[in-house]
Structure 1
Amino acid sequence: MAQTQIQPGLSTYADYRTWPNERRDELIDGMAYAMAPAPSVNHQRMVLSIAAQARTALQGKPCQPFIAPVDVLFPRMNELDDAVQTVLQPDVFVVCDPSKIEPHAIRGAPDWVVEVLSPGSASRDHIAKRRIYEAAGVREYWLVHPEEHLLMIYRLEQGVYGKPDVQELTGATKVGILPEVVIQWDETPDAWTDAQGTE
């Protein structure tokens, strides 16, 4: 998804909630970034395939999968929701602590996050979002590169992400922190080819 800073100065979640519904934005350290109006068709195929497999595997278990757009707030310490300056919308994520699930948003780090990359989003997902997820304690972070047919997996160890585990998008990949979730990359083969456009 192509992201561009949309307004000067720092914004909070209170500001964010007053913006028109047709806008899709993320906040990173108070800076607002507009997201493209709609992801590509192939991007959504990938997202839905991953989410559907996770949902099936987690049915009846306490961990719950979600897909964008859902606001995920990353507060500093005991910061009130309205004061939060970092709000992201991960493509796919799983929350295992039900206390983080609020009526309007998720408050705090998900356990597993997946971002499906496009040319417009790759640098932000690799750098800014990885920093946020690491600092917040996201236990496992997947970056899916559809054009390169690659998967990069970051695992939190002693509070930091080490070098990513890089794999091809073939066969199956088990989620390390959720071993019951196994993503079959050949479930929807059309989703992994000809990924064009921006998120």
Structure 2
Amino acid sequence: MAFALEKDKHYTYKDYLTWPDDVRCEIIDGEVFMMTPAPLLTHQDVAGEIFRQAANALHGKPCRAMIAPLDVRLPRHGEADEATDVVVQPDVLVVCDPDKLDRRGVRGAPDWVVEVLSPASASRDQIEKRRIYERHGVLEYWLVHPTDRILTVYRLQNGEYGKPDIFKLEGRTPVAVIPGLDIDWEAMTPYLIHDD
């Protein structure tokens, strides 16, 4: 059976749960965004290394590091799962509140989200996802540009991200909202030299 979406329909997590397992997509404010074919190896290497460092640093601590694919449902206040119209799959995330974890993934805002930019998803990560992460209360949002070797960091203050901090991918960068966690970019040097 072919998978087809209805034009102009507002989709929710209830719809999402009925779709075939091989359909990879995100829902942002009821609009479906199909996931591209598997990302380039550089994307996977960088996301995997960030996850490895985060998971190692948080081992035995209350916060938990996770990596895509994993559904993150971002409901409005008190909204039931079935009515939730934001379902995303961040590349790397950390959740410090165990009550946000269930068998289907994460319900509620992670503390820290990392998106590794690739040509097919860069605009969505920088515009739509930044907006929904801000609206739903993700405390710190990182955009990693592996080709340009730049990190853009948004930190939530008074409910808004405001102006981001921009860093070169060199040395170590601390995750402000998770004490004791920092990312060592030198460990990624072999992955960052390729721009294909």
Question: Normalized against structure 1, the TM-score is what?
Answer: 0.93
- 1:7: Cα distance to partner? 4.5
Alignment match, 1:117: 117
Q: Larger relative CO (CA 8 A, sep 6+): 1 or 2?
A: 1
Q: SS of the residue aligned with 1:183?
A: strand
Is the contact between residue 93 and residue 112 of structure 1 (CA under 8 Å) also seen in structure 2?
A: yes
Distance 2:106 2:132 in 1: 15
Is the contact between residue 6 and residue 34 of structure 1 (CA under 8 Å) also seen in structure 2?
A: no
Distance 1:187 1:194 in 2: 15
Is it true that 1:90 corresponds to 2:66 in the alignment? no
Residue identity opposite 1:54 in structure 2: A
Alignment match, 2:142: 142
Alignment match, 2:77: 77
Q: SS of the residue aligned with 1:82?
A: helix
List 4+ stretches of structure 1 deviating above 6 A.
none
Structure 1 stretches lacking a partner, 5+ long: none
Distance 2:114 2:38 in 1: 18
Percentage of pairs with the same residue: 52
Distance 1:144 1:95 in 2: 19
| Residues 65-99 of structure 1: CA deviation (Å, up to 9, x unaligned) | 11001000011111111111110000000000000
Question: Normalized against structure 2, the TM-score is what?
Answer: 0.95
Aligned length: 192
Structure 2 stretches lacking a partner, 5+ long: none
| Residues 118-151 of structure 1: CA deviation (Å, up to 9, x unaligned) | 1111111111100100011100000001111100
Is the contact between residue 39 and residue 118 of structure 2 (CA under 8 Å) also seen in structure 1?
A: no
Q: SS of the residue aligned with 2:113?
A: strand
RMSD: 1.3
